[in-house]
A and B are shown apart, each in its own frame.
With several copies, the nearest count.
Chain A
Amino acid sequence: MDDFYRDYILDHYRNPRNFGHLEAPTVSAEDLNPLCGDRIRVELNVDDRGIVRDIRFSGKGCAISQASASMLTESVLGMPLEEVAKLSKDAVLDNVGIGISPTRMKCAMLGLRVLKSAAIGTLAGWPDEE
């Protein structure tokens, strides 16, 4: 696990990208890590073609959940919501590298879980879908 705490991770932890809130988000979602009760909230602005134009996350948590969420927000900017909804674990693991133990995996995946539930919830709610 100590391999995990590399400088760029700590940088994302101390200086999280896209941290905060949007004025009028198109989409938002929030969930907690059942392991520790840490919460993350994600807010998105999605344009009419379904592309993620702006994103913010908020919450308090460990370096793993915060850095994972921070990096994730960077990688989904400009992505169509449909792709966001289909993101796999690897979207996080490619960012943060290896070395996360199974229990801490819940921390790493918290941001992804919230983001995907926002995306899936929105897609399901769109009237022109299906």
Chain B
Amino acid sequence: MLHLTERSALGIRNDFPIFSKPTARGKRLAYLDSAATSQKPLCVIEALDAYYREYNANIHRGVYGIAERATEAFESARARVARFINAEPAELIWTRNATEGINLVAYAWGNANLRRGDVILLTELEHHSNLVPWQLLAQRTQAELRFIPVDERGFLVLDALDRLLDGCKIVALAHVSNVLGTIVPLDAVIPRAHAAGAIVLIDGAQGAPHFPVDVKSLDAEFYAFTAHKMLGPTGVGALYGKRELLESMPPFLSGGDMIRSVEYSHTTFNELPWKFEAGTSNIADAIAFGVAVDYLADLGPGWIRQHERRIMGYALARLGELEARGLHVYGPKDPDATGSVLSFNLADVHAHDVASILDTEGVCIRAGHHCAMPLMHKMGWQATARASFYVYNSEDDVDALIGAIEKAARIFKV
């Protein structure tokens, strides 16, 4: 792997096999949908391959050579993913995705700790995955849901935070909005939540891939994230939790692996982190997730942030030039206030139509409600088109985006 200074997005792109071939229509692939899922570098694909070709075996209880090797690779991946966010391995639970991590907390912590009238505080910009589990928990426990408002530029309004926190047991909020790109001011919210006696869960699905994360200094009780948005495979994610809290929680899913001793009538549970991992784990994908964070750590989360900030600056400027043709950009327009997500609409053209036309030029973006229907509704948007950037993107992708938007404008005569 090259050193940072020698790296460029174009060099990085060479590590990703998907960019080596043109699209079905013969265009260069301008992949601008990493907020939905990222592409995977060769080292991650090869890690899967090597596991299945060379040492595929079930873990923890096998005493033969390939089982030992698989166990070591699996637990070493956990240690590396934990280190990536400055957590201890015992505090890092493998899940399927960010969504499952949030559900784990809503069930295991929520069912045991929430009572009628307790408050669950969310924000108005949450992804469905950090909203619906809390709605269902509120139904189960008769707890009350409250929301930190979002203003029309996409910023959280914290003026009434202390009132909102009154009676609150848990605050669950995104690190970064997947619609607006807004970087949520965690440092402003977490201490006040703690002061009010609430614990805090961060939906880090759009955080960990793009920003340096240090769970010790963040001091949130939980941080959920997902491999497939950070160069890893689909099917694995992780939930960080503070050790004492995890220890005090009852288990969630149960079955093989998470037990210590089982009798017909009752069971004692394994120690952390295995207490929360039931059945055969997603061994191969966890190992590959470890390789993905190694790749990211080698680039450096700081470098990644600077790289994306630069592209966002360029994209905001170029899209600004299209304002005259009716292009609207949503969310904070300051690259320091946003991650690498950019929502927009082209005049009265529906976002789906924009996306379909962009596709013909090899430009992949997302269109729709981005799993944040209530936010869309509040903002009064039927749908938005969303471009999102990652380590392999560069100014040339923004240029392709602009060119394709101009094509859409021509077709729709705007």
Interface residues in chain A, defined as those with a beta carbon under 8 Å from any beta carbon in chain B: 1-2, 4-5, 10, 32, 34-38, 60-64, 101-104, 107
Contacts and interface: CB of A to CB of B under 8 A. Distances in A.
B302 interface: no
Given A2-B411, A5-B353, A62-B352, A38 B63 contact: no
Given A1-B356, A10-B411, 18 more contacts: A1-B360, A2-B357, A2-B360, A5-B357, A10-B413, A32-B260, A35-B61, A36-B369, A37-B369, A37-B382, A61-B382, A63-B349, A101-B356, A102-B71, A103-B62, A103-B63, A103-B67, A107-B352
A2 B411 CA distance: 9
Contacts of A60: 382
A85 to B, nearest CB: 21
B18 interface: no
A30 to B, nearest CB: 12
Given A36-B383, A101-B356, A103-B62, A63 B373 contact: no
Nearest to A63: B353
B368 A35 contact: yes
B270 interface: yes
Given A103-B67, A104-B63, A36 B352 contact: yes
Contacts of B383: 36-38, 62
Contacts of A5: 353, 357, 411-412
B350 interface: yes
Interface residues of B, number: 33
Interface string B40-68: 00000000000000000000111101011
A101 B382 contact: no
B62 A62 contact: no
A1 B359 contact: yes
Nearest to B357: A2
A34 B270 contact: yes
A34 B269 CA distance: 10
Contacts of B71: 102-103
B260 to A, nearest CB: 6
Contact of A104 (B352, B373, B376, B407): B352
A87 to B, nearest CB: 21
B55 to A, nearest CB: 13
A60 B68 CA distance: 24
A63 B360 contact: no
9 contacts: A35-B368, A37-B383, A60-B382, A61-B350, A62-B352, A64-B353, A102-B71, A102-B72, A103-B71
Contact of B260 (A34, A62, A63, A107): A34
B5 interface: no
A32 B383 CA distance: 13
The 3 closest A-B pairs by CB, nearest first: A62-B350, A62-B352, A36-B368
Contacts of B353: 5, 62-64
A84 to B, nearest CB: 23
